[in-house]
Structure 1
Amino acid sequence: MDAAAFDAAFWITTAAILGLLVLSGFFSGSETALTAASRGKLRAATDKGSKGAERALKITEDNESLIGSVLLGNNLVNILATSLATALFTRLLGESGVALATLIMTLLVLIFAEVLPKTYAITNPETAATRVAPVIQVVILVFAPVVGAVRVFVRWVLGLFGVKTDPDSQILAVREEIAGALNLGHSEGVVEKEDRDRILGALDLADRTVEEVMLHRSGIEMINADADPSEILQQCLESSHTRLPVFKDDPENIVGLIHAKDLLRAMYRLMEGAESSMEALKSFKIADIAMPPYFVPDTTSLDDQMRQFLRRRTHFALVVDEYGALQGLITLEDILEEIVGEITDEFDPDADHTITVAEDGHYWIDGQMTIRDFNRATDYQLPDDEANTVAGLVIHEAQMIPTVGQAFSFHGFRFEVVARENNRLTRLKIRPLEAQLRPRSEA
């Protein structure tokens, strides 16, 4: 190797190669930082006055232009650096310098222009995105004409194969991104199960209907408008509910809604100062204090229904189907329970014991427990497309109304009917099929 080869041209070329490697590392790290940065965190930083975060947020709004400009710049500097290195080593070593230049440049680009900057960027994506945003913004402006032409050409080529592109569409919906992040965080132990369930429950309100969470009409406690006033008073005092529907002649014919406070207040006024309090009650008419019933379609989303409750300042609605037939009732509490879980008070002492785990690994549940509540309690994923309750799922899959003692296996679980009243399955025993059951202890 001639010492004259190490002249000014050699050192200038070497410096140019090193500078191009630095630029390559900058483009690689910028691409990773801007694509990995959380737009939510960038928005929060922008709201606090960060100009860099504001630029980064604006840049990431058009990912196609961002990726196109960064890739164009990265490929330009990589190809130019490789060409200069090949020319330099060929000058020094002749034809054998080509292989050496390829090996050395591969290692340099891999370590210093790819792995190192991308590792830093993925470790601190928001910080890195904020720092590189001003420079990348200029790069996008400079390369905009070339990137625009490339985008048109790429879409034309894809169109030849029948592929339609929509640059404004998101690969994942925001809700799916949040749900995926929560589930990943829960699996890694970062997010508590209760926190995950609450957030996912709030996100699900728009996709769930009142039919899925309502109390079925078979479980509604009602007041007969023609009943004796003393019987009505006793029923209200013994009831665990403060609001009760009022029907006339037929339970399907709901004529009003009575609040326990209104009932007691009205009856107290009748009895106050009367010589015979019970005689005064005979003139009481429940229709005089009953509020008009509020009916909602069973297809209303929980999100819309909650807004209606808040707007109307009421907590109670009767659910009807497309024919106007009564299907059930829904309250604001029912909707809130989809977010925070079961809400109980002193009148619901057994409400939080709807599911128990036996020593042999079986789950004992009420047949009317909703599939969603079962999934939340056990972290399993029974499908709720065809039925709202676990009993309904068993009937749907069995294509019959099972008798006590019958057992079925589907969706990875074994279901056994423990109790039945008329055509309702009131008690079920469930276990995962893959579970290793412990032998039941003898009495």
Structure 2
Amino acid sequence: MNDIPLSILFGVLAVLLLMSAFFSGSETALMTLNRYRLQHLVKQGHRSAKKAQRLLKRPDRLLGLILLGNNFVNILASSLATIIGMRLMGDEGIALAAGILTLVVLIFSEVAPKTLAALKPEILAFPASWIYTPLLKLFYPIVWFVNLIANGLLRIFGVRASEHTHPTLNKDELKSIVLETDSIMPDRYKNILLGIIDLESATVEDIMTPRNEIIGINIEDPIEDIVLHLKKCPHTRIPIYKESIDRVIGFLHLRTILTQLFNTENFNKQDITNNLITPIFIPETTPLHKQIQSFKVDRMRIGLVVDEYGDVQGLVSMDDLLQGIVGEIMTEEADIKKYENGSYLVDGSVTVRELNRITHWNLPTEGPKTINGLIIEFLETIPQAGTSLMMHDLQLEIISRNKHAITQVKFLPKKINQGVSSN
């Protein structure tokens, strides 16, 4: 070593430091690759992505190779720095060389490359995968031996490297990812995706038209009143019942009696009963995705929602189901108005699930389905207009009510709620 010029020793040391930086940076880059983007690139035929994915299928082997190379070049660099220090300053140069080398390795071979790798993993990971693939084959016996011992130690703690699988996203994690797409996705489309994610847990009870809002026709009414109702009805499918909505005899599609309807001299109740569609009854706990499939199989678009006693609780149509999943597409939410100061004016009949989806709040959905029901359950009474309260860390004010329910609620801006505890 004494015969080798210092310039060559410094050059070799620089190369070793660069190799150390490569091993450190590529390790971080490969381990922090977005696995879902990686899968997408693999499907697109990206060759580097394919190599990286193969390496990551057995991270124990990949890490064994990287750490083998990294430790080798670091130890060799340390020995070389010691020789250079002794040749320049004698025995006193050993400690100085060790200190300087530690600082240089820390900055240029660890922190800097790892920071770059964490911020831009694909820049280092993809080129590195081309280098590690042949190296893994070349040094496989050494890597296998190292992994054999390391994996044996891990088995003591119940960890098996051969059974490694990349963890999948759960529903809440997937929702968090959707919520973080502000710069690339409008709020309207985010709400659609959130609705689809919630599809598994939503039931027909969450989106049905409640019993008191069902527009139907009592077949026992005079024919003149029935004709008037039919002409003014805003819907194309109408439930026909006897005396009570609990005694529905069928659904009438206006298209089937359009001609007779405007010929009132010949129109009679028999024209209605002859064109009725047999009603279907849907348990209120039926999941949305199952009801969509049921409508498709039965070739139906509307049904009555019943409770465990068979009493009608509401009405649901295919349009309701689709709107419950994707929300309003063509128009703004009519029952939820957001103001510039961050407050919301909300109709009492709005479902808790829909409000959560639009505001990204976490109001409970296990109990009452509407905002009206949630507030009444919380207070155990129907509050007067003007009442203010804190509920689930949100400050709100009752704007209006009728005899039986809250009709409008104003949720104040979130900044007002900070630092205020819930009742």
Superposition TM-score tier, normalisation by shorter sequence: 0.7 to 0.9
Q: Does 1:354 align with 2:348?
A: no
Shift in Å, 1:170: 4.8
Amino acid of the residue matched to residue 425 of structure 1? Answer: I
Q: Which residue, 119, 125, 133 being the options, matches 2:121?
A: 125
From the superposition, tell whether residues 264 and 73 of structure 1 become closer, same or farther in structure 2 (CA, over 3 Å).
farther
Residue pairs, 1:275-354, within 5 angstroms: 278=264, 280-282=266-268, 284-342=270-328, 352-354=333-335
- Which residue is 1:97 aligned to? 93
Mapped to 1, the partners of 2:25 and 2:219 lie a distance apart of 74
From the superposition, tell whether residues 154 and 358 of structure 1 become closer, same or farther in structure 2 (CA, over 3 Å).
closer
Moved more, 237-246 or 195-204: 195-204
Q: Which residue, 73, 80, 85 being the options, matches 2:81?
A: 85
- Which residue is 1:182 aligned to? 178
- Which residue is 1:397 aligned to? 378
Coordinate RMSD, CA, aligned: 3.7
Q: Does 1:407 align with 2:352?
A: no
Amino acid of the residue matched to residue 232 of structure 1? Answer: I
Q: Does 1:234 align with 2:228?
A: yes
Residue pairs, 1:62-211, within 5 angstroms: 62-86=58-82, 88-90=84-86, 93-140=89-136, 142=140, 143-156=143-156, 158-159=157-158, 168=164, 170-171=166-167, 173=169, 175-186=171-182, 189-211=183-205
Shift in Å, 1:106: 2.0
Shift in Å, 1:388: 2.2
From the superposition, tell whether residues 195 and 344 of structure 1 become closer, same or farther in structure 2 (CA, over 3 Å).
closer
Shift in Å, 1:385: 3.8
Shift in Å, 1:394: 1.0
Mapped to 1, the partners of 2:41 and 2:148 lie a distance apart of 30
C-alpha contact 1:412 1:432 (8 A) present in aligned 2 = no
C-alpha contact 2:38 2:53 (8 A) present in aligned 1 = yes
After superposition, what is the alpha-carbon deviation per residue over 1:338-395, rounded to whole angstroms, capped at 9, x for unaligned? 45433578xxxxx844245689986443211223433455555444343322112211
From the superposition, tell whether residues 332 and 76 of structure 1 become closer, same or farther in structure 2 (CA, over 3 Å).
farther
Q: Does 1:32 align with 2:18?
A: no
Amino acid of the residue matched to residue 256 of structure 2? Answer: D
Amino acid of the residue matched to residue 210 of structure 2? Answer: H
- Which residue is 2:421 aligned to? none
- Which residue is 2:420 aligned to? none
Shift in Å, 1:217: 1.8
From the superposition, tell whether residues 87 and 409 of structure 1 become closer, same or farther in structure 2 (CA, over 3 Å).
same
From the superposition, tell whether residues 87 and 262 of structure 1 become closer, same or farther in structure 2 (CA, over 3 Å).
farther
Amino acid of the residue matched to residue 152 of structure 2? Answer: V
C-alpha contact 2:341 2:413 (8 A) present in aligned 1 = no
List alignment gaps of at least 5 residues for structure 1: 272-276, 346-350, 437-443
Mapped to 1, the partners of 2:406 and 2:298 lie a distance apart of 37
Question: What's the TM-score once normalised by structure 2's chain length?
Answer: 0.81
From the superposition, tell whether residues 53 and 280 of structure 1 become closer, same or farther in structure 2 (CA, over 3 Å).
same
Amino acid of the residue matched to residue 70 of structure 1? Answer: I
Mapped to 2, the partners of 1:18 and 1:219 lie a distance apart of 79
Question: What's the TM-score once normalised by structure 1's chain length?
Answer: 0.78
Q: Partner of 2:42: helix, strand, or coil?
A: helix
- How many residue pairs match? The answer is 413
After superposition, what is the alpha-carbon deviation per residue over 1:279-301, rounded to whole angstroms, capped at 9, x for unaligned? 53236253332222233333333
Q: Which residue, 415, 419, 423 being the options, matches 2:400?
A: 419
- Which residue is 1:348 aligned to? none
Q: Partner of 2:180: helix, strand, or coil?
A: helix
Mapped to 2, the partners of 1:97 and 1:295 lie a distance apart of 89
Amino acid of the residue matched to residue 215 of structure 2? Answer: E
Mapped to 2, the partners of 1:58 and 1:150 lie a distance apart of 21
Amino acid of the residue matched to residue 100 of structure 1? Answer: L
- Which residue is 2:54 aligned to? 58
C-alpha contact 1:368 1:389 (8 A) present in aligned 2 = yes
From the superposition, tell whether residues 171 and 254 of structure 1 become closer, same or farther in structure 2 (CA, over 3 Å).
same
* Identity across matched positions, percent: 33
- Which residue is 1:216 aligned to? 210
C-alpha contact 2:248 2:279 (8 A) present in aligned 1 = yes
- Which residue is 1:21 aligned to? 17
Q: Partner of 2:354: helix, strand, or coil?
A: helix
Amino acid of the residue matched to residue 298 of structure 1? Answer: E
C-alpha contact 2:344 2:412 (8 A) present in aligned 1 = yes
Shift in Å, 1:120: 4.0
C-alpha contact 2:29 2:117 (8 A) present in aligned 1 = yes
